[in-house]
Amino acid sequence: MGRKKIIVTGGAGYIGSHTVVELVAHGYDPIIVDNYSNSFPEVIDWLEELIGFRPINHNLDCCDYDSLKKVFSDNSDIAGVIHFAAYKAVGESMEKPIAYYQNNVNSLLVILNLMEEFNVKHLVFSSSCTVYGTPDNGIQVAENSELKPPASPYGHTKIICEEIIQNVCGNDKIKASLLRYFNPIGAHRSGKIGELPIGKPNNLVPFITQTAIGIREKLTIFGNTYNTPDGTNIRDYIHVSDLANAHIKALDYIGNKQNEKCSIFNIGTGNGNSVKEVVDAFEKATEMKLNYQIGEKRAGDVEAIYANAQKSNSILGWTAERTLEESLLSAWKWQLNLKAIDFKLD
């Protein structure tokens, strides 16, 4: 039997590119679809270096039905779709809500239409821990924890997309896994691919590595008076390659006839770390001093949240393997690589 073809929308992005590497390692044939709205064509070159051949890739917008239809019609034997493509910046979604609904919801609808039309049955969808908002009952959330009214249009798109997929799976034509990612960090161990935030990073780890390398003057820790042991926010930071592997497990899970039509899995380590602990771990792992200060709380930040990962551990058969230090070291290696190849993001 030949390698199974998987369409990977957003495959040039941060999580998508790492998943492409894992798909190839597990005998799949990824077909990347990306419009580079938040990534760069160079990622395809870096992937080629890593996997030893040029991955099939199409520069197109997933909201463009006709263009995406051609990818489906040119490949008669597509086994599934992993749908990463979306806009993901929480703050930007407050300023441009329509663009977020338009891109994130429309792209999903186009894909679902084409899946049905071409009899492609398996879908893995990128959801987010943002659907839990600020949890009421403790800070560890499970898949059956209450979902909260969305704090941002971005978060709302994830809730809407989850609901659409759940309803569509009722028709027996499509089976899906909704993966609720916690905080992906780090980079492939080679340092050849990683996170490429355009402009000033919103996320903690790219801000740390850019500060350490001198692109940013100093990191501001957003508040240290939260009700947590050291006063800083708690999150579940997961190595992006572990996260990528969860997609392989999800494809296996969906492929088994006995399994749920629409499954939901938390993809996190099951451990919480504070912002201060991340900074300390970075300093320890790299043996560097990081320039940082304590600043104001950031509006909208959840105090503390981390995954209950029991369902993905026992049912998906997936567990996060890499440590926080390993994740931070890989992020640093990636930052050093970007400097070595003189890749400019601003």
Residue numbers annotated as active site: 154
* Residue 314 burial class via C-beta count within 10 angstroms: exposed 0-12, middle 13-18, buried 19 and up: exposed
The only residue of 57, 93, 103, 273 in contact with ligand NAD, by rule CB under 6 A: 103
Select from 16, 30, 186, 270 the one that contacts ligand NAD (CB under 6 A): 16
CB nearer ligand NAD, residue 3 or residue 200: 200
- Cβ closest to ligand NAD, residue 198 vs residue 288: 198
Minimum CB separation of residue 220 from ligand WQD in Å reads 6
**Cβ proximity to ligand WQD, 202 vs 337, nearer residue:** 202
Q: Which of 30, 39, 100, 330 binds ligand NAD (CB under 6 A)?
A: 39
Instruction: Show the tokens assigned to 211.
Output: 């500060």
Q: Which residues make Cβ contacts (< 8 Å) with residue 193, sequence separation at least 6?
A: 17, 18, 21, 43, 46, 47, 50, 187, 334
Which residue among 4, 7, 8, 14 contacts ligand NAD (CB under 6 A)?
14
Q: By CB under 6 A, name the one of 25, 27, 36, 70 that touches ligand NAD.
A: 36
Q: How many residues are listed for the chain in this entry?
A: 346
Binding at 271: pick from ligand NAD, ligand WQD, none (beta carbon under 5-8 Å per type): none
238 lines the binding site for ligand NAD (CB under 6 A): no
Q: Is 206 in the site for ligand NAD (CB under 6 A)?
A: no
CB 222 within 8 A of CB 110: no
299 Cβ contact partners less than 8 Å away, ≥ 6 residues apart: none
Measured CA distances, 256 to 199, 261, 291, 294 (Å): 42, 10, 50, 49
Cβ-defined contacts of 43-47 (< 8 Å, 24+): 43/12, 43/13, 43/17, 43/193, 43/196, 44/12, 46/17, 46/192, 46/193, 47/17, 47/20, 47/21, 47/193
Site string for ligand NAD, 160-189 (x = CB under 6 A): ---------------------x-xx-----
Q: How far is the CB of 203 from ligand WQD (least distance, A)?
A: 3
Count of residues in contact with ligand NAD, rule CB under 6 A: 28
Nearest to 273, CA basis, from 309, 228, 242: 228
Distance of CA 129 to the CA centre of its chain: 11
Alpha-carbon distances of 286 from 67, 187, 214, 325, rounded to whole Å:
45, 15, 15, 9
Q: Which of positions 66-95 make contact with ligand NAD (CB under 6 A)? A: 84-86, 88
Residue nearest to ligand NAD (CB): 13
Binding mask 108-127 for ligand NAD (x = CB under 6 A): ------------------x-
User: Could you tell which of ligand WQD, ligand NAD, none binds residue 324, using a CB distance below 5 to 8 A set by kind?
Assistant: none
- Binder of residue 10, out of ligand WQD, ligand NAD, none (CB less than 5 to 8 A by kind): ligand NAD
Partner in contact with 233, chosen from ligand NAD, ligand WQD, none, beta carbon below 5 to 8 Å by kind: ligand WQD
Strands (E), 159-290: 175-181, 183-185, 219-222, 234-235, 237-239, 262-267, 273-274
SS3 category, 113: helix
- Positions touching ligand NAD (CB under 6 A) are 9-10, 12-16, 33-39, 61-63, 84-86, 88, 103, 107, 126, 128, 181, 183-184
